[in-house]
Amino acid sequence: MTIGFSEQHELSKQKFKFFVSEHIVPFANDWDNNETFPREAVAKIAKEGILGAIIPKQFGGQEMDPITFGILCEEFGKGSISLISLLTVHGMVSQSILKWGTDQQKEKFLPKLASGEILSAFALSEPNVGSDPKSVETVATQDSNGDFILNGRKKWISCGQIADLYLVVAQVDTKPTAFLLDRKTLGLDVKPITGLYGFRSAMLAELIFDNCKVKSSDMLGRVGFGFSHVANAALDHGRYCVGWGCVGLGQACLDASLSYTSKRKQFGAYLRKHQLIQKMIADMATNVRAARALCLQAGNLKQMGEPDLIMETSIAKYFASKMALNAANDAVQIHGANGCGSEYPVQRYLRDAKITEIIEGSSQIQQIIISQSAYHRFLFESRNARKEKG
């Protein structure tokens, strides 16, 4: 049993593992090659109730606790972390509506999101903004009827190609504000993004808004809530999801390397007998466990509602994504020339692992958050120590 997992968590893990092994692993390489995530595959995920993972039961969801949801993300990451984008952005929108939506918005959207009747995407990133979401350039101008006219662009939107509902952050009089936008809205143009290095099955898209009309009733929260409330909480969910997915990806790298080195001979001995190989395997095994422990810590704090959650999630995502990239790099090295071809999945693992250091806030953004928090805690404790002495 994994430390920190209950018996119910272990049962959930086996259930998720079986689903992923049956419905994702056999097709992951083809989906990656074709840069697609077929609707029939999404339908199977929806039928399993996975799209309603964090949605309360009263709206038709599974109402998973944070650790169970993390385990789900780990298993998806093991099968194809590219597909975790669906869990990430769908969950970000669902959580945002649950937390900041009106009763009418909750009743209208959450049951459909839980069942998979509609898919959602979180539209924050822009071509000129990158990791500075407070400075989005998309604008929403209020008309004489009190509704809003949306103009601008979003880019690198995970699941943007297949989403039915977008949560869009735009500036209203220089105040970031969140809106719910139907895909069928006039003036919205969805352009697929292809030729990606990794996360090829994430169905990324660019969104172009040309005088899109958004009803005032489709604002989420209030004017000015877009970043400080909606996006901040959503990004924390996204980082938590990606962190756990990286644990799964690291485990997949370890499993692939253990299997390959137990079958492949070099210089008259199985690769597993070579000490340099053993060193790489030891690092992988150790770092996967460390990353899982950090994600568990974040999950426990999330369940308790602790105020330090954002920093702990950033630490988990930062470490886990670095771990996944290092593990994937070693896995390709262990496989040698075979690791560069399509016969083995480790080349896909390496390409996808690099993307995890960029999405939901780059590693550099996580470093800033973590260091600022560390300084804040140091100064707070120093002031308290001086008060006690004085």
**Catalytic residue numbers, as ranges:** 360
Whole-angstrom distance, CA of residue 285 vs CA of residue 250: 9
| Angle subtended by helix axes 84-100 and 66-80, to nearest 10 | 150
> Rounded distance, CA 353 to CA 11, Å?
28
Radius of gyration of the chain (CA): 22
Q: Which two tokens stand for residue 182?
A: 């139907």
Locate 353 and state its tokens.
């692992």
Looking at 247-318, which runs of residues are DSSP E strands? 265-266, 269-270
Rounded CA-CA distance 24/78 in Å is 10
From CA 201, how far away is CA 184, in angstroms rounded? 23
Greatest pairwise CA separation for the chain in angstroms: 80
Angstrom distance (rounded) from CA 332 to CA 347: 6
Residue 202 burial (CB count, 10 A): 29
